[in-house]
Amino acid sequence: MAKFKIVLFGKQGSGKTQLSHRIALKENYEENASSTVGIEFLSRKIDGNNDLHFWDISGSKVYKKLHQSYYMGAIVGVFCIDLTKENDKNQINEEVQLFRDLCPYAPIILVGTKADSLDADIEAFKKNAPNELFSNCMITSAKERIGIDELYAEITKYCQGLNESLWNRSVQNLLVSLKELPRNKEQLIKVELEKLAKVILAREEELGVVSQTKGDAIEDFTSNCKTILEENHPNVLKAVASVAVAAVVTLIAAFIGFSISFFLGSWMGPGALVTGLIGGYSAALAITASSITIGTAAGGITAFGLFKTSKEMNALNEFTTEVSSWNREIRL
């Protein structure tokens, strides 16, 4: 199961709490919910295999120093503006820049709240919204459920398929590279790829698939492909390794809900990675319980000799070392 972190931020009283409650709780929404003190977590299933985790961040200046740790690892940012009040463009730029510094590739949706109010100045919002800072601008009312379904659809659009995108790209690269192989080797690699895909993309409840099985499947895939290729065809070997790394990342993201954006270009070093992972500590314990062999698979890929000190493999190595250091019972 993949868990996508959605951060709602903006000034205190901008309607973040009501908005997050309406999206996550739907019909159980409480109109008079009090403002968030510190941070509030809510979740909603996209489907049977994916969850949205909403982080409602207090807009109080008291908690501003904590925003850095709260924002880390966000897949989507939702910046809330109260349509009934004038807004300071400098303050908006400052808050958006802070989020952008920590999540450089996460889209930010600008959301005008309280559209049902007679004091809401929707035209001013449309005219003055700094569109260049945001991926989209939307108008909502949690009370009257205006724009809520549209906002939810926009968020899920960014999240659905995110984990699979790296996988799909790697698989396509491998299939293209196979054209240089003799027909029999091409077919053998395709068989191995099909076996891996069936396990990695299966839900935990399907066919008795468990984490241990997925870890073993990655190791089997790399080992069998290496045997088939007989140390030849370096382009295919690299493509095979890319698929294996994508499979490892998919497993990591599925267990702890960590953004895979560092594999897509926003890697910020082990400190940033660990900060993003702290919230997934309990899930990391679950990894141990199921004896997943992510670390072994990652090590096997390194031994495969296809990645030489790349930031991707460094990221995986630092991840496994750091998480294991939290508790001696955790061995990745």
What does DSSP say about strands 39-47 and 50-57: parallel, antiparallel, or unpaired? antiparallel
Amino acid at 262: F
Q: What is the pLDDT of residue 287?
A: 33
The answer to the question of residue 175 being in a domain is: no
Question: What distance in Å separates the CA atoms of residue 44 and residue 156, rounded to the nearest whole number?
Answer: 11
Q: Which of 160, 190, 222 is the last residue of a domain?
A: 160
Within this chain, do residues 247 and 217 fall inside the same structural domain, yes or no?
no
Closest by CA position to 8, among listed 56, 53, 51: 56
Question: What distance in Å separates the CA atoms of residue 117 and residue 119, rounded to the nearest whole number?
Answer: 5
Total tally of structural domains belonging to the chain = 3
The answer to the question of residue 24 being in a domain is: yes
Within this chain, do residues 144 and 267 fall inside the same structural domain, yes or no?
no
Asked if 107 contacts 264 with a C-beta cutoff of 8 angstroms, the reply is: no
Within this chain, do residues 282 and 243 fall inside the same structural domain, yes or no?
yes
Residue written as token pair 């989507």: 76
Q: What is the pLDDT of residue 12?
A: 86
The answer to the question of residue 74 being in a domain is: yes
Asked if 231 contacts 304 with a C-beta cutoff of 8 angstroms, the reply is: no
Within this chain, do residues 265 and 318 fall inside the same structural domain, yes or no?
no
Residue 20 phi/psi, 5° resolution?
-65, -35
Amino acid at 93: N
Within this chain, do residues 225 and 239 fall inside the same structural domain, yes or no?
no
Burial environment of residue 205 by CB neighbours within 10 A (0 to 12, 13 to 18, 19 or more): exposed
The answer to the question of residue 171 being in a domain is: no
Within this chain, do residues 225 and 250 fall inside the same structural domain, yes or no?
no
Within this chain, do residues 85 and 186 fall inside the same structural domain, yes or no?
no
Burial environment of residue 97 by CB neighbours within 10 A (0 to 12, 13 to 18, 19 or more): exposed
The answer to the question of residue 258 being in a domain is: yes
Within this chain, do residues 129 and 220 fall inside the same structural domain, yes or no?
no
Closest by CA position to 283, among listed 93, 53, 77, 90: 53
pLDDT of the chain along its 332 residues, tens only?
Answer: 578 899 999 988 899 999 999 998 876 666 666 555 667 889 898 876 678 999 988 766 666 666 677 888 888 999 999 999 988 888 899 999 989 888 877 889 999 999 999 999 999 998 888 888 898 999 999 999 999 999 999 999 888 756 556 777 788 889 889 989 999 999 999 999 988 888 887 655 554 555 567 778 888 999 999 999 988 899 899 889 888 888 877 776 555 444 444 443 343 333 333 333 333 333 333 333 333 334 444 444 443 443 444 444 454 454 444 444 443 333 33
SS3 string, 10-65, reads ECCCCCHHHHHHHHHHHHHCCCCCCCCCCEEEEEEEEECCEEEEEEEECCCHHHHH
Number of other residues whose CB lies within 10 A of the CB of residue 156: 18
Domain hosting 215: range is: 180-232+310-330
Within this chain, do residues 191 and 316 fall inside the same structural domain, yes or no?
yes
For the residues of 206-236, what is the DSSP string, one character each? GGG--HHHHHHHHHHHHHHHHHHHTT--HHH
Q: What is the pLDDT of residue 50?
A: 79
Within this chain, do residues 224 and 258 fall inside the same structural domain, yes or no?
no
Within this chain, do residues 36 and 124 fall inside the same structural domain, yes or no?
yes
Q: CA-based Rg of the chain, rounded to a whole angstrom?
A: 22
Q: What is the CATH number of the domain that holds 38?
A: 3.40.50.300
The answer to the question of residue 266 being in a domain is: yes
The answer to the question of residue 294 being in a domain is: no
Within this chain, do residues 278 and 315 fall inside the same structural domain, yes or no?
no
The answer to the question of residue 296 being in a domain is: no
Q: What is the pLDDT of residue 88?
A: 86
State pTM to two decimals: 0.54
Q: What is the pLDDT of residue 30?
A: 64
Question: What distance in Å separates the CA atoms of residue 230 and residue 158, rounded to the nearest whole number?
Answer: 40
